[in-house]
A and B are shown apart, each in its own frame.
Chain A
């Protein structure tokens, strides 16, 4: 299994796309921090980058990679190897290299310029998003045989989590504005890893704006040990579930 992971990582690095991605993140992060002397504002801009770009790149890149290495996968399946270890190796290889890019590209500048609890939350959230969206990409590519369709599904999933979901939530908020929505909102937030990450970072960043009634409930929940535990659990589930489903599917798939 380790050999396959190594092979996948070397293959990814060789393809230079991961390197370009790392460099892009690094340039962006340093650029953002240099534009403004206020590190908090930099974190705020980086948050948008992390919440939009990271899921997009993770999901699209991973989907394309899995489709492109279909021959390699077929070859290895012919060998006396467990399908489980093969699939997990591919996931690990992708996750490790993308996470590494993220840590170097965003984590390093954040620690250099900010290094506060907010910055750490941002890094942890970004890492989780990388893992989650790589997992979703694997699921998308194992579900559809056609490459174009698979990429389409991936883009749609990204679109769903970053835009459509929030639009629906906004609609619900105004349709049901006569009802106390604070507690249901916590549940709704939990169902979207992007929203969950955003709220976790915001609670560190915009604490005073969020201190209205809604914010108070949010803070009470997400600030407590149970809340933090539950959020971490949710992010963890979001990481594991897609990969697990894709594994089940891959094990029974007729290649």
Chain B
């Protein structure tokens, strides 16, 4: 028995020693006039838990691979130059923090996805307050879990989809937090593929070649209060389930295939409190099921919504539709979605009992939007006398427009959103 107690005592002492040793984290300084001249040498010397403090300067060290649990911290934005050849930093360790660095000229390749910063097979990595310039892929997370990417500024000079990479790219990841980043000049601003339980919030994504935000096969994610503007094709949410989209702004996405959001083959999503402004098409829906759209604003779009006949059980309620050239367009007779209690500025019905709800239903699909869908050239006659005659005639007796696509309780006054 005594022997047993001794063993326990010994092990406690050893444990204390070890933990005492561990607490003593060291700081390695890197810079031209500092003890370490290169980041790689500092990493080689450092042990888990240490901090590497990088002073201003230009560091051209090829690819740096990080396999220790370190904090990489820059003061005054030291430049890590990839010389258009290398992936600059690869993280293969848990709980790494990268802060205050300036990544520049990362390698480009049409064969490999070269990133300025790659997080590979790691957990609890934090990437914050960094700058990225002229990169192929900016931040690339693969098999990452519970990582935080925040307050980064990513710019690049993408010209076309083929020769460019994504700003923040997440693949097969989980519980990611992406917030307050600014992304521009990439292929897709933020790209998600097989990513679940993640939050994207307060980011700005603009002037990207393809999408501001791109979701593929990613379930149970939320994106909140982001601004997506002036991207080649807006935002795409595809083949996903349980996506929450709230308080985002989608604006100025112009072009023949540009949408505020393209929703393709998604189900059980909620979009609430978003603003769609000055897009060619606010929302394009294809094969979407059980999507709820509540309290969104559609202002000055070409088409507020295009809902293909392949969509079902979507609910649109308490939205404001104002100053859109067309409210809704569709491509068939079948309507399985429901419109209820929206405000439409083109509604010209009456409200006899003054309860704020129009007494006759509103049909948001005009004949000419159907014609325009079939024959785009006919937009040339838009708003001409003959077209308004045809539209009026169709409104009286719907023949070509879907009879069931209507709002039975349109609001008389816009909602305060």
Interfacial residues, chain A to chain B (CB-CB below 8 A): 38, 40-41, 44, 47-48, 51-52, 162-163, 166-167, 169-170, 173-174, 177, 181-182, 185, 188-189, 195, 198-199, 202, 206, 208-216, 218
Contact = CB atoms under 8 A, between A and B. Distances in A.
Contacts of B383: 44, 47-48, 198, 202, 206
Given A163-B385, A166-B386, A213-B256, A208 B300 contact: yes
Contacts of B258: 211
Given A38-B323, A48-B388, A166-B386, A211 B280 contact: yes
A162 B302 CA distance: 25
Interface string B9-46: 00000000000000000000000000000000000000
A170 B385 contact: no
Interface stretch (B85-93, B198-206, B373-381): B373-381
Given A208-B325, A213-B256, A173 B386 contact: no
22 contacts: A41-B345, A44-B383, A52-B385, A167-B386, A170-B381, A173-B375, A173-B380, A173-B381, A174-B378, A177-B374, A177-B377, A181-B377, A182-B377, A195-B381, A199-B380, A206-B382, A208-B254, A208-B279, A209-B280, A209-B326, A211-B256, A213-B376
Contacts of B302: 206, 208-212
Given A166-B385, A198-B383, A209-B301, 6 more contacts: A162-B385, A166-B386, A206-B383, A208-B254, A208-B301, A215-B256
A98 to B, nearest CB: 21
Contacts, number: 98
A206 B256 contact: no
Contacts of A48: 383, 385, 388
B276 to A, nearest CB: 11
Interface string B243-275: 000000000001110100000000000000000
A43 B106 CA distance: 51
B303 interface: yes
Contacts of A209: 280, 301-303, 325-326, 379, 382
Nearest to A44: B383
B112 interface: no
